[in-house]
Structure 1
């Protein structure tokens, strides 16, 4: 794990880097792309939850009573940005099955590149939980910023953002809007092109995950 700058962590584990390279290949099948995204989501989840608070509890093993650590307090909320963010969800729920799930429906207007909300549903006690917002691509950051805006309106205070790829422009925009929200990513790519896509990137993650293009 390598921290590039304040608030941005690049998870450069060899397994993450290898799987990301496979996902970038243009001829990778929809099934394989989905599976790899799920696997990387699980690996990223280990890192984004590395500093969860712990407390001691008494249990009884087959041999004796013992004080052992468990996660303290209420569990997390996973908040995928629809569509592509759900690609992370299954892998993360495998690790944290007690987590609640919020859904944030946003799409990017092809002309303005601005985020347009069409759906939002979150647990009522979201203000009391750590919220992990997830979207494979942090490109213009318009969707990510809009999602965090909405969650903060609902009272969320402890927020983290997880993505597969980030562009420098997206990081700058995101950190400018929400400097209190840390970012975890598998890689920071070169730039955005004129259409707002990350270069070299991997194309449209939602289309590749669902086979819609």
Structure 2
């Protein structure tokens, strides 16, 4: 299983990562959402480099030219709600893709934020049978939400290829996904990989709660 960590190399993407991490900038919700979206656009472009392509002929005003275009059926699946701007960024580049949405959330136990289960309440998805599945979630903390989302989507078919797309991942989540996803057809794409989780399983240094930063605090 290949893991791509964009922060290992210098690129413009690192500027957007800096802004979504910076507490003096990130509370501008519009700017936060747009930065998440732009990271999704860059990641979609990088993911596309590994696709299968086919050649087609295009008529220009002066001649006919041969162009290579992607030859894969793509489904972008996103975990609500923090994933929406990330999803939109990816969809901006895969504009012909089908879309799936899953509601997955942490249900905390009486002991507080130190103990929780992941619950899935809602799924809307086309068939993913034989297609290229992009699983998008901006924060990959433990990996369990991503795993449960994937298991839920398997009720809609078995994908040919799986791309896990995330912005900030913990090292623990990367290891979890490597252990629980099909090794021969899964690729992990992360804008940055952070070293730790705190006692509440939030990524450290991370960015905080991506959903709250994008859409406001929930009660």
Q: TM-score, normalised by structure 1?
A: 0.91
Are residues 1:189 and 2:194 paired? yes
Specify the SS of the correspondent of 1:78: strand
Once residues 128 and 191 of structure 1 are traced to their aligned partners in structure 2, the CA distance between those partners, rounded to angstroms, is 35
| CA distance in structure 1 between the aligned counterparts of 2:166 and 2:141, rounded to whole angstroms | 10
2:16 maps to which of 19, 35, 55: 19
What is residue 56 of structure 2 aligned with on the other side? Answer: 57
What's the Cα RMSD here?
1.5
What are the residue-to-residue correspondences of 1:25-40 with 2, within 5 Å?
25-27=22-24, 28=26, 29-40=28-39
1:159-207 CA distance string (max 9 Å, x none) = 2110001111111111111143211000111200000000000001111
- Partner residue of 1:118? 121
Count of aligned pairs: 206
Q: Per-residue displacement from partner, 1:106-164 (whole Å, max 9, x unpaired)? A: 001223332100100101x3113211010011111110010111222321322211000
Q: 8 Å contact 1:114–1:143 — kept in the other structure?
A: no
Q: Which ranges in structure 2 are unaligned for 5 or more consecutive residues?
A: 110-114
8 Å CA contact 1:37, 1:88 repeated in 2: yes
**5+ long unaligned stretches in structure 1:** 1-5
TM (normalized to structure 2)? Answer: 0.88
Runs of 4+ aligned structure 1 residues displaced above 4 Å come to: none
Report the secondary structure of 2:66's partner residue: strand
State the shift of 1:16 in Å.
1.2
Indicate the residue corresponding to 1:76 in structure 2: 74
Seen in structure 2, the aligned counterparts of structure 1 residues 95 and 149 have a Cα distance that, compared at 3 Å, is same
Cα distance in 2 between the residues matched to 1:87 and 1:60: 35
